[in-house]
Structure 1
Amino acid sequence: MARMIPPRIATGTSGGEVEVFELLKNDPGLGDYVCLHSVGIARHRRKDYAEADFIAIGPSGIYCLEVKGGDRIERKDGLWTIGSKSNTYQSVEGPFKQAQGARWPLIEFLRRNLDPEIRRTALFGWGVVFPGFQFSECDPEWDNDVIYDIRDKGKPIRIYFERLEAYFRRRLLETDKGQPPKLEPSRVRAIVDCLRGDFEIVQSFHSLLNESQHELVRLSPAQFGVLDSALNEFNPRVLCMGAAGSGKTLIAMEAAKRLAESGKQVLFLCFNNNLGRFLSKEIAWSRSAVTVSTVYRLLTDTIQRGGLGQELAAVRSTKSDEKLFDEAYPRLFESAAYVLLEENELPQYDVLIIDEAQDILSAPVMNCLDLLLRKGFSNGQWLIFLDDGMQSKVYDRMDQKVLAHLRTLQPATFLIAHNYRNPKDIVTEMCAITGVPIPACKRVINSKVDYRVYKDEAEQSRKLRAILVELLRAQIPASGITILSAKNLAESIFQKYAPDVGKQVVLLDEKTTVPEDSITAGTVAGFKGLENEFIILTDMSSEMLKSDWGASIIYVGMTRARTKLFVLVDETFIQSRM
């Protein structure tokens, strides 16, 4: 049976095309064929726009088929009349010239977009199909070998393709032209992808702090597969693994919006505040009914609504971060949740989506979230996106046992291995430093990492200002520039020596709103999940090369840049790097 694209025929299609569609779809001898229905031809030689009823691609070659249904056809004084008694149309061109005419722009398109030698490497043919009547007229305009009519309907339609192949190979011999080879399955797939490959265009979330800029991002087949699976009602659980720059957040956002539009209550969680704020802005901009929160803001809100806010405030002042996050928050949340359950005020969500889940997957926290998801993790609908590699070392909070448990729930599991965000030069340099394997990079621009070496903090401050002045003089928008520090905010170079360049430098970790025409600054850890065109990575020392945590900060920091990366390093960093 041929693979049909699209798999179902559109309402309103002519009866003749519907009949041929079913013949192609149901012939078991066409298992190696792909048949495209209703293919538009934008660069026809004689028309502004034309259409091929079917294009069949298989081992024997590529064939354009013109279908003429109805119960009558005539040619009188060079004018063709085709159709039935109640519905006819007239054409000077006729079905045979139509079929032949579709072949040439098809060849030209494949020559320009797939293979300059396509005429030597694939057999091209055409045919005319009359499913409703017998056509036995002879004419110099056509050979009867290219005709399929009611006499052929008792036989599998694959026999017609065998006849077309024999006819067009014979014509090549008669015109002293070479014989193209049979098409291998991989070649068939490549031709199909070129003519009618899967793609989807979705709008990206706003580039950092530049809300008026909307960028269109083409999902790759791998990303499209994850999104398609996430929207499949028969596939309620999805686990998506991907390194930095693989587009996990983009997929998660699009899935959240579409699931909400289908009427489901969607909870979308992440870990860090900056990512949570910008995801909230994107959701607000799209007007989708998705609840977006950081996981600990969600826990805090629930604890307070359950009447335990004062107790939470008390433990915050006495507990270490580790005990606060893994013990106090979950304990107080569960107590508050049961209070709210008794009052029927604990929200329940149809779908839970977690982005940057490597920072959230601990057993106490996941037990809390289990109470908010209808049917829980075992039987509910969830989508979890994470990087269990280098990024997981930044906060080092992921419990491998929790991940193993999620796998036992048999989610659809995806690995996106490509990097779609960073120029290859940046990715290659990052991998050389951290030891991470180099992924396949989809960006093609050349953009070397620009190292600036400093001796002390004062010199680092001067060099930071020089980079900012250089970018602004080149008319780079301030909103396209982000300064990141490998240290915490209090120890960062931009806190100690605020750069004066005529533009406001806004600390992301301290602001919920950011003026549009401003440079942003923050910590590497606080910028996880985000990106910008120009990244200036500061406070980089050779000590960072000696630990897993330091390598993870380098990994995250360097992979935030979409266009250009500057790195301010001490002298020993370069020596250690070499």
Structure 2
Amino acid sequence: MAHMVPSLGPASFAPESLEDLIYNALSLLSDDYWVVHSFKMVGVTDEGSLSEREADFVVFNKRLGILVIEAKAGQVQTIDGVWCYGNGTPMKHGGPYRQASDIKWALYDRFEDMGLSHLRGKCKLVHAVWFPSIHSSQLGALDYSSEAARELTLCKNDLGNPGQMIQSIMSFDVSDVRIHLSDREAREILDKIIRPEFKIVPINAVDYGYSNYVFARLLDEQVRVLDFLQEQKSAAINGAAGTGKTLVAIEHAKRISASDRVLFLCFNRLLSENIKQRCSDFANIDVYTIDAFCMRMVGNLDFGELVSKISENTSLFPYRHVVVDEGQDFGQEAIEEADVLGYLSLLVEERGGTIYFFYDRRQLVQGVGLPRVISDSDCRLTLYRNCRNTENIARCSLRSLNDNSGGQVLLSNEPGNPPLLKISSINKELESFVDDELCDLRVKGLTDVVVLTCKTLERSAFAHCFCQRSDSIHWKDTSARIYTCRTFKGLEADAVVLIDVDETLWDEPISSHSPKEGLLFYTGASRAKYELRVAACLTETGCRSILSRFGIATSRRPIKKFAQILSLSLV
């Protein structure tokens, strides 16, 4: 997927321009492309007046150079060499090709303005026009003027897969230009020409605000799942941490709550509180953990009694739709023996309703296996694109599982800062690391920071640092709250400090109830959106032991190798 600017979707545009279709098409380009929509250039003319130009799209590729695209939707025609709209009105700026060419040369001049004139001979600039309403068979009927060419034209056919045509246009030879940009030179062009960044206000939180803008949207993939679910009575949706399962589950519940009551079940109490808050404006959605729902219905945690009571008097269950999040955790023996999910599936089916299960097969933290109703589902979908974590954090969390499943997840286009790792066998040094990093994160402007322990609160090596305040536990006198990886599952924070990381996290499970190797690390690390810090109590021997479980034999610098395997930066 290309790096899109803005990332949330197209900038402001007239709907009839169809620039949203072109934006979505260009986003399909590979990740070595950068695409800017609504690229504005402001300057002062020789006469001292202000001038403003805008390119519909600017595309940059280190190997191919810069492409300026002018979009023209609707019917077009040429009359006596003049480009006109379908109604005969002449187009401004001499037509789309001349307009794109003018912007191209304005960009060429900008290299000098930004002190990069020495790179003009290394970076090719070309232009093109995109007619999103016109089929390729219609292009031959146009009377191309001297500044226009069919070879510089994209059309409706290219909306599905523009890569070949874009590469063809950007591969044309330009006199006196030979593309050979270094990584540093390409970065200079990006930062000063394509997507200049202004550092007027030195507040680090601005960077995180941009990332939040990237992650806050429903991805096309998720929208397609939502649309698909409207046609299904039952479905199981799998996805790794950060792929937006809860986001899709909540959005789906909101959609179907317009006319019927919805029961939203999850496993984690903190997650249920979060979902309740996000659904507070929707009176038809009731949110419970499975335990809380059982307690409300029968006054205890007897799931067999829960099923019996509802089956004897179905009016006690007023819902036509059920949404289950954290579905993998409903595989606990007591829930499975009572066949709670199976019974609810039959009940809503009888009522003509729906039931959907959202789960992560990697996160079997609470259950011993997937519930039968999920494993046996006839309709199973998978979310592949991570939309929570920066690329570096997602890669770190997935690699901790050592199951090669990370390659199935599409990482975000927001690389972010590398996660930091402090390794020591001395807890006092690790405690100081946590103190320093919490202070640093606060200076960076982050306030949503949590400390997650891979142990229980009682067994943590840093329990003496935990301070109880009313109904929450904090790290010393800071605002950072303490949770276990298990209780924080399903939630997220801007920054996570992961503590009590040691060799035992990668031990083989001693029972069917024990988490698999690396799972608690994966669960905790994947909660972090922008920043991740890891405090690990390890020695060279411990690192070597973990690496051996990854199938890696090393006798030299095992600590460094361990950090590399998990994509962590040693401090």
TM over 0.5: yes
Partner residue, 1:152: none
The alignment status of 1:255 with 2:252, answered yes or no, reads yes
Partner residue, 1:561: 528
Q: Structure 2 counterpart of 1:333, which letter?
A: L
Tell me the CA shift for residue 387 of structure 1: 1.1
Tell me the CA shift for residue 294 of structure 1: 1.0
**3-state DSSP of counterpart to 2:274:** helix
1:295 maps to which of 277, 290, 307: 290
**3-state DSSP of counterpart to 2:305:** helix
Q: CA 1:62–1:398 in structure 2 vs 1: closer, same or farther (change >3 Å)?
A: same
Partner residue, 1:530: 491
Between Structure 1 and Structure 2, which shows a larger proportion of helix residues? Answer: 1
Tell me the CA shift for residue 354 of structure 1: 1.7
Structure 2, gaps ≥5 residues long: 1-9, 18-36, 44-49, 57-67, 111-122, 167-208, 510-514, 547-557, 559-571
1:229-268 equivalences under 5 Å are 229-231=225-227, 233-260=230-257, 262-268=258-264
Tell me how far apart the structure 1 counterparts of residues 107 and 161 of structure 2 sit (CA, whole Å). Answer: 12
Tell me how far apart the structure 1 counterparts of residues 357 and 98 of structure 2 sit (CA, whole Å). Answer: 50
Tell me how far apart the structure 2 counterparts of residues 554 and 126 of structure 1 sit (CA, whole Å). Answer: 50
Q: CA 1:104–1:417 in structure 2 vs 1: closer, same or farther (change >3 Å)?
A: same
Q: CA 1:522–1:556 in structure 2 vs 1: closer, same or farther (change >3 Å)?
A: same
Partner residue, 1:334: 307
The alignment status of 1:446 with 2:417, answered yes or no, reads yes
Q: CA 1:217–1:478 in structure 2 vs 1: closer, same or farther (change >3 Å)?
A: closer
1:414 maps to which of 369, 377, 382: 382
1:574 maps to which of 543, 546, 557: 543
Contact 1:357 1:385 in 2 (8 A): yes
Tell me how far apart the structure 2 counterparts of residues 540 and 494 of structure 1 sit (CA, whole Å). Answer: 12
Partner residue, 1:484: 452
**3-state DSSP of counterpart to 1:566:** strand
Tell me how far apart the structure 1 counterparts of residues 374 and 212 of structure 2 sit (CA, whole Å). Answer: 33
Q: CA 1:470–1:225 in structure 2 vs 1: closer, same or farther (change >3 Å)?
A: closer
Q: CA 1:274–1:298 in structure 2 vs 1: closer, same or farther (change >3 Å)?
A: same
Contact 2:42 2:51 in 1 (8 A): yes
Tell me how far apart the structure 1 counterparts of residues 389 and 284 of structure 2 sit (CA, whole Å). Answer: 28
Q: CA 1:452–1:109 in structure 2 vs 1: closer, same or farther (change >3 Å)?
A: farther
2:270 maps to which of 244, 269, 274: 274
Contact 1:360 1:397 in 2 (8 A): no
Aligned CA-pair RMSD: 5.3
Contact 1:50 1:102 in 2 (8 A): no
Q: CA 1:447–1:98 in structure 2 vs 1: closer, same or farther (change >3 Å)?
A: same
Contact 1:240 1:415 in 2 (8 A): yes
Q: Structure 1 counterpart of 2:231, which letter?
A: F
Tell me how far apart the structure 1 counterparts of residues 495 and 311 of structure 2 sit (CA, whole Å). Answer: 47
Q: CA 1:302–1:109 in structure 2 vs 1: closer, same or farther (change >3 Å)?
A: farther
Partner residue, 1:26: none
Partner residue, 1:366: 341
Tell me the CA shift for residue 366 of structure 1: 0.6
Cα deviation, 1:176-202, whole Å, max 9, x if unaligned, reads xxx66999967526889xxxxxxxxxx
Taking structure 1 as the reference length, the TM-score comes to: 0.58
**3-state DSSP of counterpart to 1:528:** coil
Tell me the CA shift for residue 358 of structure 1: 0.9
1:165-176 equivalences under 5 Å are none
Partner residue, 2:505: 544
**3-state DSSP of counterpart to 2:264:** strand
Q: Larger Cα Rg: Structure 1 or Structure 2?
A: 1
Q: CA 1:223–1:354 in structure 2 vs 1: closer, same or farther (change >3 Å)?
A: farther
Cα deviation, 1:129-186, whole Å, max 9, x if unaligned, reads 9xxxxxxxxxxxxxxxxxxxxxxxxxx98664113387669979xxxxxx66999967
Tell me how far apart the structure 2 counterparts of residues 560 and 276 of structure 1 sit (CA, whole Å). Answer: 16
Partner residue, 1:471: 438
Tell me how far apart the structure 2 counterparts of residues 83 and 223 of structure 1 sit (CA, whole Å). Answer: 35
Contact 1:241 1:385 in 2 (8 A): yes
Q: Percent identity?
A: 18
**3-state DSSP of counterpart to 1:447:** coil
Q: CA 1:529–1:182 in structure 2 vs 1: closer, same or farther (change >3 Å)?
A: closer
Contact 1:356 1:387 in 2 (8 A): yes
Partner residue, 2:33: none
Contact 1:41 1:102 in 2 (8 A): no
Tell me the CA shift for residue 444 of structure 1: 0.8
Tell me the CA shift for residue 486 of structure 1: 2.1
Contact 1:505 1:521 in 2 (8 A): no
- Give the count of matched residue pairs: 424
**3-state DSSP of counterpart to 1:338:** helix
Partner residue, 2:162: 188
Q: CA 1:380–1:452 in structure 2 vs 1: closer, same or farther (change >3 Å)?
A: same
Partner residue, 2:327: 357
Q: CA 1:552–1:63 in structure 2 vs 1: closer, same or farther (change >3 Å)?
A: closer
Partner residue, 1:322: none
Tell me how far apart the structure 1 counterparts of residues 274 and 106 of structure 2 sit (CA, whole Å). Answer: 42
Partner residue, 1:162: 140
Partner residue, 2:353: 380
Tell me how far apart the structure 2 counterparts of residues 423 and 269 of structure 1 sit (CA, whole Å). Answer: 30
Q: CA 1:47–1:340 in structure 2 vs 1: closer, same or farther (change >3 Å)?
A: farther
Tell me how far apart the structure 1 counterparts of residues 267 and 289 of structure 2 sit (CA, whole Å). Answer: 5
Taking structure 2 as the reference length, the TM-score comes to: 0.58
Tell me the CA shift for residue 386 of structure 1: 1.3
**3-state DSSP of counterpart to 1:529:** coil
Tell me the CA shift for residue 44 of structure 1: 11
Cα deviation, 1:402-430, whole Å, max 9, x if unaligned, reads 32321x2x35x233154641441663475
Partner residue, 2:279: 283
Contact 1:452 1:463 in 2 (8 A): yes
The alignment status of 1:395 with 2:369, answered yes or no, reads no
Tell me the CA shift for residue 538 of structure 1: 2.5
Tell me how far apart the structure 2 counterparts of residues 402 and 298 of structure 1 sit (CA, whole Å). Answer: 19
Tell me how far apart the structure 1 counterparts of residues 356 and 486 of structure 2 sit (CA, whole Å). Answer: 23
Tell me the CA shift for residue 271 of structure 1: 0.8
Partner residue, 1:347: 318
Tell me how far apart the structure 2 counterparts of residues 401 and 474 of structure 1 sit (CA, whole Å). Answer: 43
Partner residue, 1:140: none
**3-state DSSP of counterpart to 1:564:** strand
Tell me the CA shift for residue 484 of structure 1: 1.9
The alignment status of 1:498 with 2:472, answered yes or no, reads no
Structure 1, gaps ≥5 residues long: 1-5, 18-38, 53-60, 74-80, 130-155, 173-178, 193-212, 304-308, 317-327
Tell me the CA shift for residue 270 of structure 1: 1.2
Q: CA 1:161–1:63 in structure 2 vs 1: closer, same or farther (change >3 Å)?
A: farther
Tell me the CA shift for residue 99 of structure 1: 4.9
Q: CA 1:506–1:417 in structure 2 vs 1: closer, same or farther (change >3 Å)?
A: farther
